[in-house]
Amino acid sequence: MSSGKVALITGGSGGLGKMAAIFLGREKWRLMVNCRNYPGKLDEWMAEVTGENVEMGISIGDISRRNVAKRVVQETLERYGRIDALIHAVGPFIRERKWFIEHSANEIEELVHGNLLSAMWMAHSVLPVMRRHNWGRILFFGFGRAVEAPAWPDRSVYAAAKTGLVSFTKTLAVEEAPYGITVNMICPGDIVKERKEMCINDVKNIRDDETPCGRPGSGEDVARLILFLLRSKSDFVTGNIMQVTGGLDVIHPVSKRER
């Protein structure tokens, strides 16, 4: 599938980014995985991936900072000489339910920088590289119904950043289509905690009465869509906001925070 192609995966130390690395490794993509910090368990699963004759590098740094994003791209180029896909799995989220007025200034900046500006800095750094080869795939992550820009009580800052990313995704898709570059957004449903790193077989017998399809989602559900979008013959699929939710609506119309 890859023909030696290179994928740069941000936020790849765990969760959906890690699953993307594992599944792309099986397809013999060459990988550069960015992590904000170097977690202890990274060595273990990196050995698992590279043990299958997959070439994989690690780049450490907070890519919500412009100079770090540029450095991560440069390190990838120095190692491989090209970047064919950017899978931007960075997306800080605060599980605690908060009204906007309750967010600290630092929380607001972290959520906006991590969910929106980080994507812009990475795209700004990687697009010239992809244009040189007249080929590229960029994938961002959102949330179910992000394309509607809905009210999401208790998640105001996160939702604002991600819905801004929707417009950015659609705009880039139009601007970069003449250069053979597709840009899409994947919107997982309530795939949280350990299920981000689980396969379909791990969850298929777990009953989930909230999800219409009857089971919870897994990291593999997302990884399979990633593999499809990276294919050469998926070049006509761009500017799309794709839900991987099992039919679940994650948005609550009123605040669920205790008053």
- In single-letter form, the type of residue at position 225 comes to L
Alpha-carbon distance of 218 to 198, in angstroms, equals 5
Work out the mean pLDDT of the chain and round it to a whole number: 93
Q: Could you write out the DSSP letters of every residue in 39-83?
A: -TTHHHHHHHHHTTT--EEEEES-TTSHHHHHHHHHHHHHHHS--
CATH of the domain at 108: 3.40.50.720
CB 217 within 8 A of CB 194: no
Residue 2 has pLDDT above 60, yes or no: no
Alpha-carbon distance of 174 to 113, in angstroms, equals 24
- In single-letter form, the type of residue at position 87 comes to I
Residue 256, domain member (yes or no): no
Residue 1, domain member (yes or no): no
Residue 254, domain member (yes or no): no
CB 84 within 8 A of CB 137: yes
Angle at alpha carbon of residue 44, lines to 42 and 45, rounded to 5° = 75
Alpha-carbon distance of 19 to 7, in angstroms, equals 13
End-to-end CA distance of the chain: 53
Q: What band does 1 get if pLDDT is binned at 50, 70 and 90?
A: very low
Residue 183, domain member (yes or no): yes
Over residues 108-118, mean pLDDT = 98
Over residues 21-27, mean pLDDT = 93
Residue 136, domain member (yes or no): yes
Residue 96, domain member (yes or no): yes
CB 50 within 8 A of CB 44: no
At which residue do the structure tokens 């809905």 appear? 150
Alpha-carbon distance of 108 to 113, in angstroms, equals 8
The pLDDT score that the predictor gives to residue 12 is: 86
Alpha-carbon distance of 162 to 186, in angstroms, equals 11
Strand partners for 34: 10, 59
Tens digit of each residue's pLDDT (9 = 90 or more) over 29-73: 999 999 998 766 667 767 666 666 889 999 999 999 999 999 999
Residue 90, domain member (yes or no): yes
CB 85 within 8 A of CB 142: no
Give residue 37's Cα distance to chain centre: 17
Task: Tell me whether residue 56 is exposed, middle or buried, using C-beta atoms within 10 angstroms of its C-beta: 0 to 12, 13 to 18, 19 or more.
Answer: buried
Over residues 209-237, mean pLDDT = 96
- Overall number of domains in the chain: 1
Residue 253, domain member (yes or no): no
Alpha-carbon distance of 140 to 119, in angstroms, equals 7
Residue that wins the pLDDT comparison between 256 and 181: 181
Residue-number span of the structural domain to which 34 is assigned = 6-244
